[in-house]
Amino acid sequence: MGIKDQKNKGKKVYFCIFLTSIGYVYIAKTEKGICRISFPRTSKNDLPLPDQRATYINLCENDSFLKYEIGILKKYFEGKQVIFDFSLDLSSGTFFQRKVWNKLKEIPYGECRSYKWVAEQIGNPKAARAVGMANNKNPLPPVIPCHRVIGANGKLIGYATGLHIKQWLLEMESDANPSQAKHRDSA
C-alpha cells in the first residue's frame, strides 16, 4: 500500500446514481465535498473508474446525503440554469489540474473559451495541450465546465464522453440562457 493509499485508508465516499434525460449520472462525495460526477452511465450498476472502487475506500450508497447536490444536477440536466453552490473536493488533481479546473469555473454559463485562452489565463500561454489533458481528467463535469472549452478556431474538440455530449450540453445551456453568446470565443 502506497503513501496515498495509507492516507485514504478507510476514507468514506458516499455515492448515488440517478436517472436524467442524458442517462444515469453518478455522483460521489467525501467529507470535503463532491469528488466525482460521471455521465452518461448506462445503468445503476455502471460505476466509473476503478479508483472509486478501491478497497481502501469505504463506498456507501446514500441518496439522502447527496439530496441537495442531486437536486441541482437534476435541474441542470432538465435544461434549467443553475448555480453549483456546493462544496467540491478536488484533491484528486495535480496542482496544474486544479489551477485549470478553477479557471474553468469562471467561464460563464452558456459561453465558451478556447484551450489557448485558458492557458493564457493561468499564466502559461504555451500550455493549451496540457489544458486539454487537464480537461480530460476533470472529475466534476458539468460543475467544472470543461464542455465550455473549444478549439481556438471555434470548433468543438475533445470531450471524454464524446463530442455529441459536449454539443448537447452547450446547446442546452444556450437554450436555457439565450442572452449569452452562442458557442464562440473572442479569444
For residue 62, the domain's CATH number is 3.30.160.70
* In a domain? residue 186: no
Other Cβ atoms less than 10 A from the Cβ of 41: the count is: 19
- Known catalytic residue at 35: no
Q: What is the CATH number of the domain that holds 100?
A: 1.10.10.10
Q: How many domains does the chain have?
A: 2
Does residue 104 share a domain with residue 43?
no
pLDDT > 50? residue 1: no
What was the pLDDT predicted at 159?
86
Which residue range(s) make up the domain with 28?
A: 3-77
Domain boundary among 18, 49, 77: 77
Last residue of a domain, one of 22, 46, 77: 77
Residue 29 DSSP SS3: strand
The three-state secondary structure class of 35 is strand
Mean pLDDT of 109-117: 95
State the Cα–Cα distance between residues 102 and 116, nearest whole angstrom: 16
Residue 105 lies in a domain: yes
Q: What is the pLDDT of residue 111?
A: 93
Q: In this predicted structure, what is the pLDDT of residue 7?
A: 53
Residue pLDDT, tens place only, 134-187: 999 999 999 999 999 999 999 998 888 889 999 999 999 988 775 544 443 444
The answer to whether position 27 is within a domain reads: yes
Residues 104, 63, single domain; the answer is no
User: Greatest CA separation found in the chain?
Assistant: 52
**How much is the pLDDT for 45?**
75
| pLDDT tops 80 at residue 131 | yes
pLDDT digits (tens, 9 = 90+) for 18-59: 999 999 999 999 999 999 999 988 777 776 654 544 545 678
Q: Do 166 and 147 meet the contact criterion of CB atoms below 8 Å apart?
A: yes
Domain membership of residue 163 (yes or no) is yes
pLDDT computed for residue 102 by the predictor: 97
Tens digit of pLDDT for each residue in 64-96?
A: 899 999 999 999 999 999 999 999 999 999 999
- Domain endpoint, select from 47, 77, 107: 77
